[in-house]
A and B are shown apart, each in its own frame.
Chain A
Amino acid sequence: MGTMEQLTLQLRETAREILESKKAAAVIGWEMGTFWYSTAPAILTRPEETERLVWNEYCLNNLAKYLLDFQNTDEKVAIFARGCDYRGINRLIQDKQIDRDKVLIIGLSCPGMKDDKKARELGQNADIPLAKKCEECTYPDALAYDLWVGEPKEAAKPAKAEAKVFPEVESLEQMTADDKYENFAANYEKCLRCYACRNVCPACSCRECIFGNSSKEWSAKANNLSENMFFALTRALHVAGRCIQCGECERICPVNIPIMLLNKKIIQDIDHLFGPYDAGLDPEDKMPLGSFEFTDPEEFM
């Protein structure tokens, strides 16, 4: 594989060609942020802007969510996609938020991104560890694409999910009910309810969210443990079976709530109840909580 600097040039060239030939109206990628350890999503529409694109060890943002901004246009949008972006795009396709025909997927192979918070703390000369979400990643490459940037890849093997065991879920399950509650309360007591987790999530695509509609009085704007837990549980259950495990919610939480813990617990339960399943690998997949089979467990009936 070429170095990331070389790939950056290829990214720019590919993006420029797409915009010049009008194969897509916009290209979604990454550009440098304010600091050496930061990049930002870049949504580009003019060929000359493509010089801003970068591909480096801090391209942490999952880009899929930005496709929603093009929901109401007829034009095609190009998007750079590693495994996590790819799964996010499939999430939106499968949830009927966007049409596959309107997306031009430019596949990438991801070496794993570095932890920007650690980078800030440790400094430029230190050995910076991988971001947690990347350490846990099982699909670093886009599995299907319209264009590919980087070394040509062998034909992608059909992805097959394996039953997942998350150590943090295992230790959670060992706890007594009271300890679980305490753990849950300690995590969500500090929630600011800024909804960054919801807004970054490719599985959160409701046009109207109940947490953005206080006049219905299903939920209150008040910040207290009860409302915060209600938000956390509602979101976890709403993305159940659809969470693509990109870990963005947890990575960007301003107060470091381990948001993926609930998601992982549900993912592990789904594997256990319905067989191993990884969301977002193929938009044609049957979703375990979105379909029914006579062999499904019904212990509660």
Chain B
Amino acid sequence: MFTVQESEIRDLLNVLNKEYKVFVPAKVGDESKFVPYEDNVEFCWDRNVLLSVKDKFFPQTEPLYKFKTKRQNLEIEPLAPKDEPVLLFGVRSCDLQALNCLDQVFLTKGFVDEFYRTKREQATIVALGCNEAEDTCFCTAMGVDPQKGHGADIQAHWLQGKFALEALTDKGQKIIDTLKSYLKEENLEVPETKGFQLQPDMDGVPEKLKGMFDSDLWTEVARKCLNCGACTYICPTCHCFDMSQDVRGEEGFKYRCWDSCMFEEYTLMAGGHNPRPTKKERVRNRFLHKLCYFPERYNMLLCTGCGRCLSVCPVNLHITSIIDKVKEAN
């Protein structure tokens, strides 16, 4: 592996910034998120950021095309997704796994979302290993290796005041080659991630859930849910969206934006019928989608154990406790 002193990371990012639009994890006031790299960013290396990189590929609001009417004529102008090379530096394993989930949805089974595809192909990703888990972390229970970002171009580690880089793809190797003058070749030992407190046992859970649609469990756990969308909007894998339009006079644009299965309107049908009328049905759907339907369709869990929903849920209705309860249920 190749290393660079932490104090020199900005030199390296400055070089990369010439060729790519570089995003780094940063503290912004009370928040933390990926921001475009600038000299004065306050890095956030010690823990994962609150807002994942999901919106770099699947923005909360994304215009799709413009339209204009003139008498009988309709003009449509496609809005091409931004076509610029992007480099995300410091994506954690859980969030990379989340991108792998989104890839399934937006790129496979014959449905390719051009807006997502363009941005995904333009992105180079430097993963960052986790030396220490937060108390809300449970990625290992969801089959994620916190020291190895699956699908990244380069794996980075933050060790002993240095960043250690290892190429995982040809694209990654090329980047390391261009940075050679800043890097020193040495091998540092990558420690096992410390401090996991939560280890929900997923063994057999997706299969068991197949028979639990009518379980009383959902009535009980849903009671405390407020049906806000905090869990879904903070989640790196939730990907439901709604189409809408902004019309001013005779012109406007069509856009899509995140939607949440926790909202009443989400399943409201044109005739006024709502197949998920109460919070019980909505809570059930959220957890079945993550832990049963998605694994059934794509053979992978739609939860990567990042723990964000655990830290934002106003009523502490935690997916880890749901998994425990499913395990216990008769």
Residues of A whose CB lies within 8 Å of any CB of B are 33-35, 38-43, 61, 65-66, 69, 120, 190, 192-196, 198-200, 212-214, 220-224, 248, 252, 254-256
A to B CB contacts below 8 Å, 10 in the list: A34-B318, A34-B320, A40-B316, A120-B311, A192-B234, A220-B244, A221-B242, A222-B246, A222-B257, A254-B233
A222 with B61, Cβ < 8 A, contacts A35-B135, A212-B263, A256-B30 known: yes
User: A33 and B260: CB pair below 8 A?
Assistant: no
A34 with B260, Cβ < 8 A, contacts A190-B31, A223-B61 known: no
Question: What 10 A-B pairs have minimum CB-CB distances, sorted nearest first?
Answer: A252-B314, A196-B228, A33-B316, A254-B312, A40-B316, A256-B30, A194-B229, A199-B226, A43-B223, A199-B228
Chain B residues 59-91 with CB under 8 Å of chain A are 60-61
User: Would you call B310 an interface residue if the criterion is a C-beta within 8 Å of the partner chain's C-beta atoms?
Assistant: yes
User: A199 and B257: CB pair below 8 A?
Assistant: no
User: A194 and B228: CB pair below 8 A?
Assistant: yes
User: A40 and B224: CB pair below 8 A?
Assistant: yes
Q: What residue of chain B has the Cβ atom nearest to residue A69's Cβ?
A: B223
Residue of B227, B232, B263, B316 ringed by the most chain A CB atoms within 10 A: B316
User: B257 and A38: CB pair below 8 A?
Assistant: no
Contacts of B320 in A (CB 8 A): 34
A11 to chain B, nearest CB (A): 17
A239 to chain B, nearest CB (A): 16
A88 to chain B, nearest CB (A): 14
Q: For the complex, give the distance between the alpha carbons of A38 and B46 in Å.
A: 23
A34 with B314, Cβ < 8 A, contacts A42-B224, A195-B228, A214-B244 known: no
Contact with A along B289-311 (1 / 0, CB 8 A): 00000000000000000000011
Contacts of B259 in A (CB 8 A): 221
Q: What residue of chain B has the Cβ atom nearest to residue A213's Cβ?
A: B265
User: B31 and A256: CB pair below 8 A?
Assistant: yes
User: B31 and A194: CB pair below 8 A?
Assistant: no
Contacts of B318 in A (CB 8 A): 33-34
Contacts of A43 in B (CB 8 A): 223-224
Interface size class of B (residues with CB under 8 A): 35 or more
Q: 6 more A-B contacts (CB under 8 A) besides A34-B316, A221-B244, A255-B50?
A: A34-B198, A40-B224, A194-B234, A198-B228, A223-B61, A248-B314
Contact with A along B210-251 (1 / 0, CB 8 A): 000000000000011011111011100000001010100000
User: Would you call B258 an interface residue if the criterion is a C-beta within 8 Å of the partner chain's C-beta atoms?
Assistant: yes
Residue of B50, B51, B226, B311 ringed by the most chain A CB atoms within 10 A: B226
A187 to chain B, nearest CB (A): 10
Contacts of A222 in B (CB 8 A): 61, 244, 246, 255, 257
Chain B residues 119-171 with CB under 8 Å of chain A are 135
Q: For the complex, give the distance between the alpha carbons of A38 and B312 in Å.
A: 12
User: B246 and A220: CB pair below 8 A?
Assistant: yes
Contacts of A248 in B (CB 8 A): 314
Q: For the complex, give the distance between the alpha carbons of A194 and B230 in Å.
A: 5
User: A61 and B315: CB pair below 8 A?
Assistant: yes
A176 to chain B, nearest CB (A): 21
User: Residue A196 contacts which of B224, B230, B264 (CB distance < 8 angstroms)?
Assistant: B230
Q: For the complex, give the distance between the alpha carbons of A38 and B310 in Å.
A: 10
Contacts of B265 in A (CB 8 A): 212-214
A252 to chain B, nearest CB (A): 4
User: Would you call B193 an interface residue if the criterion is a C-beta within 8 Å of the partner chain's C-beta atoms?
Assistant: no
User: A212 and B264: CB pair below 8 A?
Assistant: yes
Contacts of B229 in A (CB 8 A): 192-196
User: B314 and A196: CB pair below 8 A?
Assistant: yes
User: B135 and A120: CB pair below 8 A?
Assistant: yes
User: A192 and B244: CB pair below 8 A?
Assistant: no
Contacts of B244 in A (CB 8 A): 214, 220-222
Residue of A38, A43, A61, A222 ringed by the most chain B CB atoms within 10 A: A222
Contacts of B233 in A (CB 8 A): 192-194, 254
User: Would you call B102 an interface residue if the criterion is a C-beta within 8 Å of the partner chain's C-beta atoms?
Assistant: no
A123 to chain B, nearest CB (A): 10
A264 to chain B, nearest CB (A): 18
User: Would you call B24 an interface residue if the criterion is a C-beta within 8 Å of the partner chain's C-beta atoms?
Assistant: no
Q: For the complex, give the distance between the alpha carbons of A35 and B233 in Å.
A: 22
A43 to chain B, nearest CB (A): 4
User: Would you call B14 an interface residue if the criterion is a C-beta within 8 Å of the partner chain's C-beta atoms?
Assistant: no
A40 with B223, Cβ < 8 A, contacts A199-B228, A212-B264, A220-B244 known: no
